[in-house]
């Protein structure tokens, strides 16, 4: 079975999968299941059935599901219409679609891209 080097540094947590612990992903983490713990990645996508609760750090985050606790997004956070984000948020740029929700404390960081890339 051939491995595509472009996708080998990515992670997908499928719907129905529950992960507890800490993850560090060099490229993109896609979550359709549940992550209970810390997640650091270059990009994070949370699908409509996905939930992450813990310390989350990424350059770019797109949320259609749930993201909770402590979020640090060094560039762009995009909360889609079905997205629910709660907790403490540090961000550079934010976009929230009509219907998207944020509850908690937010602080804008003026320096996009200040978080170092993994890998």
Residue 32 lies in a domain: yes
Q: Model confidence over 39-66: pLDDT tens digits?
A: 999 999 999 999 999 999 999 999 999 9
Residue 4 has pLDDT above 60, yes or no: no
23-33 per-position pLDDT tens digit: 999 999 999 99
In a domain, 118, yes or no: no
Query: CA-to-CA distance for 10 and 41, rounded, in angstroms?
Result: 9
113 assigned to some structural domain: no
**46 inside domain:** yes
DSSP string, 22-82: -EEEEEEEEESSEEES-EEEEEEEE-TT-EEEEEEEEEEEEESSEEEEEEEEEEEEEE-TT
Q: Is the pLDDT of residue 113 over 80?
A: no
Does residue 105 lie in a domain region?
A: no
Share of the chain above pLDDT 90, in %: 84
Say if residue 114's pLDDT is above 80: no
In a domain, 119, yes or no: no
Q: Which helix (H) or strand (E) holds 101?
A: strand 101-108
At 1, the pLDDT band (50, 70, 90 cuts) reads very low
Domain assignment of residue 109, yes or no: no
Q: Domain limits at 67?
A: 11-97
Domain count, the chain: 1
Q: Cβ neighbours of residue 101 under 8 Å, at least 6 residues apart?
A: 79, 83, 84, 85, 86
């Amino acid at each position: 079975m051939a491995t595509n080097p472009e996708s080998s540094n990515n992670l997908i947590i499928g719907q129905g999968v529950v992960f507890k612990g800490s993850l560090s992903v060099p490229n993109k983490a896609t979550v359709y299941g549940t992550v209970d713990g810390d997640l650091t990645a270059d990009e994070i996508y949370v699908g409509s059935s996905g939930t992450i609760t813990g310390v989350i750090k990424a350059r770019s985050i797109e949320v259609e599901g749930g993201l909770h606790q402590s979020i640090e997004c060094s560039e762009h956070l995009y909360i889609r219409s079905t997205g629910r984000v709660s907790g403490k948020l540090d961000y550079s740029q934010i976009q929230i679609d009509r219907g998207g929700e944020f509850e908690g404390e937010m602080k804008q960081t003026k320096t996009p891209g200040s978080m170092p890339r993994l890998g």
